[in-house]
Amino acid sequence: MANKAGAYVIKLTGDVRMTLCTTLDSCLYRMVDDPVFQSVTVDVTEAEGIDSTSLGMLAKVSRLATPAMGRVPTLVSTRADITRLIETMGFRDRVFAIVSRPESSAQSSLDEQPALPVNEGDARDRVLEAHKILMSLNDHNRQTFKELVECIENQARH
């Protein structure tokens, strides 16, 4: 993550999985709590894959940042498969402005964030939250993730 005068860049690389959600969540709250926060760009140009939990967390980034910014954040994607996945989830224009080139040079000063530990309860809560956010985006997602969310909710009750 990089920050230059309140303009944040979050770069996700490799295989982006649920195990990074605690770290992403921590970065997200630090970012939106920053008094000079003004924008966020998410860069997935070096992501090889993104699971549904991570996609839900990206939607959460937008959900929290958009009111503060007055517009949706930017997502940079150069891989057709990743862009197609993101668009299939309903991200284009409603959740992110998707572009194929970064807007700023802040990426040169990116700091790798240490992966925060995840316990089973926190992981379940984040998976549930992420999928509920995805379900709220459109009917396709609602149908796709309905059984998973019900299963997780049932497990949480027992």
Q: What is the pLDDT of residues 124-135, one digit of tens each?
A: 899 999 999 999
Q: What is the pLDDT of residues 59-72, one digit of tens each?
A: 999 999 999 999 99
Cα distance between residue 141 and residue 29, in whole Å = 25
pLDDT of residue 132: 97
User: Above 90 in pLDDT, residue 105?
Assistant: no
Q: What is the pLDDT of residues 1-30, one digit of tens each?
A: 889 999 999 999 999 988 878 888 888 999
Cα distance between residue 20 and residue 7, in whole Å = 22
Kindly report the number of other CB atoms within 10 A of residue 66's CB atom: 16
Model pTM above 0.85:
yes
Average pLDDT over every residue of 52-56: 95
Element (H, E) at 97: strand 97-99
pLDDT of residue 123: 83
The DSSP symbol for 73 reads P
Cα distance between residue 58 and residue 105, in whole Å = 21
